C-alpha cells in the first residue's frame, strides 16, 4: 500500500469543552498527529523557538503573507496577528503527518474556504450545565469574565452544525476514540485515495 | 449522551476482495453491527428461517414492494428476485443497530438514491495481481468461469470512485480497523447528530 499523505484536521469548540485533553490523548495514541506551527507578529517568549513554537515574522511580512494568500486563516488577538502558513503545513502533509489546527470558529470558517478537504470537527459538551461548571470551576477569573466566557460559549455552540463532525465530550476516552476514528476514516475517503494515487 | 440511531453501511467490491472476512472481523469487534435481512422470491432452503435468513415472499408481493417503493434496492439472480426492505431495516436502525448491506455495485447505486445518508464503502485489493491470485487460487471453477470473474472484477474496480470510502484490503487487521473507524466516524457526522437530537 502506498504511503498516505497527511490530512488537515480542524478542531474547534467553546472554551472549557476539553479540546486540549482530547488532543493530548489522541496524540499519545497516534504519533503521526502534530500541531500546526502558526506564524505570529508577537515577539518570542523565553524558550520559544522560531519554526517550532511559531514562525516569528514582522507585521509587514505577515500582511504580505495575507495578500499573497499564503495563510489558511488568520486573526488578531491582543494587538498581534496569528495565522496558519500553507507552505510549512503542506510540507508536513507530504511527510505523511496529520496536522491539527486548534482554532476558533472564525478561523475554522476561513479554512473551510481555503482548504475545504480538511476534516472539520466541533467538540460539544454533554450539556450546557457541564460546560458552565467547567468554566466556573476554574476559579481563576472574575465573575464578569466567567459570564463573558459563558456568553461566548453559548454563541459558539450554536455554530456546531457548520462542522462535518461532532464529538460530544462526555467520557474523555470515548471522545479520544471518536477523534482517532474520524482521522482514520478520513484517510479512507475516496478523495484522499485518488489524491494519493496520483502522487 | 443520547442513544444513537443505527446507520446503514453499504459495502461493495469485486468478488475475491475479502468483503466477507472484513465483515466477520468487524462484527466480532462491534456487536451493534448486523446484516440486513433481504426479501426474496426463492423458496427457503432447509434450515432457513423466514424473517431471519430472508423474508420469503411471492413474486407478486415482491413486485408490489418494488411498486410501493418498499425496497432500498433489488436485483434478479438466477431467476429469483432479491431486495432490501426498508421497513425492517428502519426498525433495526431505531434499535440502534448498524445495518450492513453487502451488495454489488448496481444495488449500491440504487441505495445511493433511495438512502443517500448511508455510508458507502468500496473494498479494493492491494493490486490486481493479488485479486487474480485470490480468484484463481480458489480452484473450484473452470478457467472460463475464472476468466469471466476477472473480467467482471476489472469492470467493477473501475467504479471505486463512486463510493465515499475506500478500504484497501492489504492486511486484514488494518482493513477491519478501517471499517470500524468509518462506522464510528459515521456516528460523529453532524447530520447523524442533528437527526438523533431531534428524535
Taking only the tens place, the pLDDT of each residue in A138-167 is 677 788 888 888 899 999 999 999 999 999
pLDDT digits (tens, 9 = 90+) for A66-90: 999 999 999 998 899 999 999 999 9
Give the pLDDT band (50/70/90) at residue B58. very high
Whether A66 is covered by a domain: the verdict is yes
Whether B3 is covered by a domain: the verdict is no
Percent of chain B scoring above 90 in pLDDT: 79
Query: Which domain range does residue B176 map to?
Result: 8-197
- Averaged pLDDT, A53-61: 96
- Chain A residues touching B180 at Cβ < 8 A: 181
Q: CB of A185 within 8 Å of any CB in chain B?
A: yes
Q: What is the pTM of this model?
A: 0.91
Count of CB pairs separated by less than 8 Å, A with B: 74
Length of chain B in terms of residues written: 199
Whether B80 is covered by a domain: the verdict is yes
Are the Cβ atoms of A165 and B194 closer than 8 angstroms? no
Q: Exposed, middle or buried, B34 (CB in 10 Å: 0-12/13-18/19+)? A: middle
Residue B64 neighbours by CB distance under 10 Å: 12
The predicted structure's pLDDT at residue B2: 46
Q: Is the pLDDT of residue A3 over 90?
A: no
Q: Could you report the predicted ipTM of this complex, rounded to two decimals?
A: 0.90
The predicted structure's pLDDT at residue B24: 96
A8 close to A99: Cβ distance less than 8 angstroms: yes
pLDDT digits (tens, 9 = 90+) for B109-159: 999 999 999 999 999 999 999 998 888 876 777 888 888 888 999 999 999
How far out from the chain centre does Cα B105 lie? 10
B121 close to B163: Cβ distance less than 8 angstroms: yes
Whether B57 is covered by a domain: the verdict is yes
Q: CB of B190 within 8 Å of any CB in chain A?
A: yes
Give the pLDDT band (50/70/90) at residue A135. confident
* Domain of residue A79, CATH code: 3.40.50.300
The predicted structure's pLDDT at residue B138: 66
The predicted structure's pLDDT at residue B195: 59
Q: CB of A145 within 8 Å of any CB in chain B?
A: no
Domain count, chain B: 1
Whether A155 is covered by a domain: the verdict is yes
pLDDT digits (tens, 9 = 90+) for B98-117: 999 999 999 999 999 999 99
CA distance A44 to B79: 75
C-alpha cell at position A21: 485533553
Distance from the Cα of B141 to chain A's closest Cα (Å) equals 29
Percent of chain B scoring above 70 in pLDDT: 94
Give the pLDDT band (50/70/90) at residue A197. very low
Whether B133 is covered by a domain: the verdict is yes
What are A71-80's contacts with CB under 8 Å, separation 24+?
A71/A39, A71/A114, A72/A8, A72/A101, A72/A110, A72/A111, A72/A114, A72/A115, A73/A101, A73/A103, A73/A106, A73/A107, A73/A108, A73/A110, A73/A111, A73/A114, A74/A107, A74/A110, A75/A104, A75/A106, A75/A107, A80/A40, A80/A41, A80/A42
The predicted structure's pLDDT at residue B3: 59
The predicted structure's pLDDT at residue A73: 97
The predicted structure's pLDDT at residue A2: 46
* A135 three-class SS: helix
pLDDT digits (tens, 9 = 90+) for B67-95: 999 999 999 988 999 999 999 999 999 99
Q: What are phi and psi of A82, to 5 degrees?
A: -130, 145
Report the run of H or E that residue A56 belongs to, with start and end: strand A54-56
Amino acid at each position: 500500500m502506498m504511503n498516505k499523505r497527511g490530512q488537515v484536521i480542524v478542531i474547534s469548540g467553546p472554551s472549557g469543552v476539553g479540546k486540549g485533553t482530547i488532543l493530548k490523548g489522541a496524540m499519545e495514541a497516534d504519533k503521526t498527529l502534530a500541531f500546526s506551527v502558526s506564524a505570529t507578529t508577537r515577539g518570542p517568549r523565553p524558550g520559544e523557538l522560531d519554526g517550532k513554537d511559531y514562525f516569528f515574522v514582522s507585521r509587514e511580512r505577515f500582511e504580505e503573507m495575507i495578500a499573497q494568500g499564503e495563510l489558511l486563516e488568520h486573526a488578531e488577538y491582543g494587538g498581534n496577528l496569528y495565522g496558519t502558513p500553507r507552505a510549512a503545513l503542506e510540507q508536513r502533509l507530504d511527510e505523511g503527518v496529520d496536522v491539527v489546527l486548534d482554532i476558533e470558529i472564525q478561523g475554522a470558517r476561513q479554512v473551510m474556504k481555503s482548504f475545504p478537504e480538511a476534516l472539520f470537527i466541533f467538540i460539544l459538551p454533554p450539556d450546557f450545565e457541564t460546560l458552565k461548571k467547567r468554566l466556573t470551576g476554574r476559579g481563576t477569573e472574575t465573575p464578569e469574565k466567567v459570564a463573558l466566557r459563558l456568553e461566548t460559549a453559548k454563541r459558539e455552540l450554536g455554530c456546531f452544525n457548520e462542522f462535518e463532525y461532532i464529538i460530544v465530550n462526555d467520557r474523555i476516552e470515548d471522545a479520544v476514540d471518536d477523534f482517532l476514528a474520524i482521522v482514520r476514516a478520513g484517510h479512507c475517503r475516496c478523495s484522499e485515495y485518488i489524491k494519493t494515487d496520483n502522487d
